[in-house]
Amino acid sequence: MISKMQYKHLFFDMDNTLFDFDADEDQALERLFNAQDIDLTSDIKTTYQTFNQGLWRQYEQGELTREILLNTRFATFFKKQFNKVVDGQQLSSQYLDNLALGHDLMPQSEELLAGLQAQHAKLYITTNGVARTQYQRLQDSGLAHYFDAIFVSEELGYQKPDPAYFQTVFQKLETVPMTQSLIVGDSLTSDVQGGQNVGVATAWYNPTGQINHDQALQPTHEIKQLTELLTL
């Protein structure tokens, strides 16, 4: 039986774990496409999201730099989809400004963090997002005060699931034992893989009941609701 406070240090992903990134992305894309006089239909949005997710997987695997991803994705997509030439760097900046305005939360996010704080757990953010965007969203959401430290890939120089990412995190924290730590996130390839790479326990947040088809990626725990973490 797992004791109630086996995990005293919890490392949270942000997007689609604590924050409803899908809702925030919808709003940011709507503003961006409207500014280009393009109607963002559901089909176009789905096509873009598939394209964008592919780029982020390449980034996670070290096949693509953050700068290339951010500065070329819109130029590539608009050219391919609409045969429209745009300034990719400018649109990227506009999109990130739009995204920074979004801080919709996943169900139970604040309830969970308040409960963990009451249990005297130490909480941290570990995200592959863009620093200025993620910091603003954390502040505007009112969640920032729950966290003892925030680790953004852009600032660390490594991204999840690169072993160097969490190795750097634990080096910076110095006294935090990996054996009492838990990495929490919605991504098998980023959060769970990242934990496995350094031998740290993981909790896969899987609210929609996705099937894990990769036998090499086995989270320590799987949860459908965030507040299940309170019993760990």
- pLDDT digits 0-9 by tens, 101-114: 999 999 999 999 99
Contact criterion met (CB below 8 Å) for 166 and 195? yes
Give Cα separations from 216 to 61, 102, 209, 219 (angstroms). Answer: 16, 34, 18, 10
22-100 topology per CATH: DNA polymerase; domain 1 (1.10.150)
Residue 5 gets which letter from DSSP?
A: T
Question: Position of tokens 């130490």?
Answer: 122
| Longest Cα–Cα distance in the chain | 59
Among the listed residues 93, 68, 167, 96, the one whose alpha carbon sits nearest the alpha carbon of residue 126: 167
Active site residue 43: no
- The interaxial angle of helices 88-100 and 66-82, nearest 10 deg, is 110
- pLDDT digits 0-9 by tens, 4-60: 448 999 999 999 999 999 999 999 999 999 999 999 999 999 999 999 999 988 988
- pLDDT digits 0-9 by tens, 78-97: 999 999 999 999 999 999 99
pTM, to two decimals: 0.89
Which numeric CATH code is attached to 9-19+105-231? 3.40.50.1000
Query: Does the structure show a pLDDT above 60 at 147?
Result: yes
Q: Which of 13, 15, 20, 186 is catalytic?
A: 13
pLDDT interval class at 226 (50, 70, 90): very high
Residue 86 tokens read as 């745009």
Residues 123 and 85: their CA atoms lie apart, in Å, by: 44
Per-domain residue ranges of the chain: 9-19+105-231, 22-100
- pLDDT digits 0-9 by tens, 160-209: 999 999 999 999 999 999 999 999 999 999 999 999 999 999 999 999 99
Q: What is the DSSP string of 172-205?
A: HH-S--GGGEEEEES-IIIIIHHHHHHT-EEEEE
Residue 229 tokens read as 């973490």
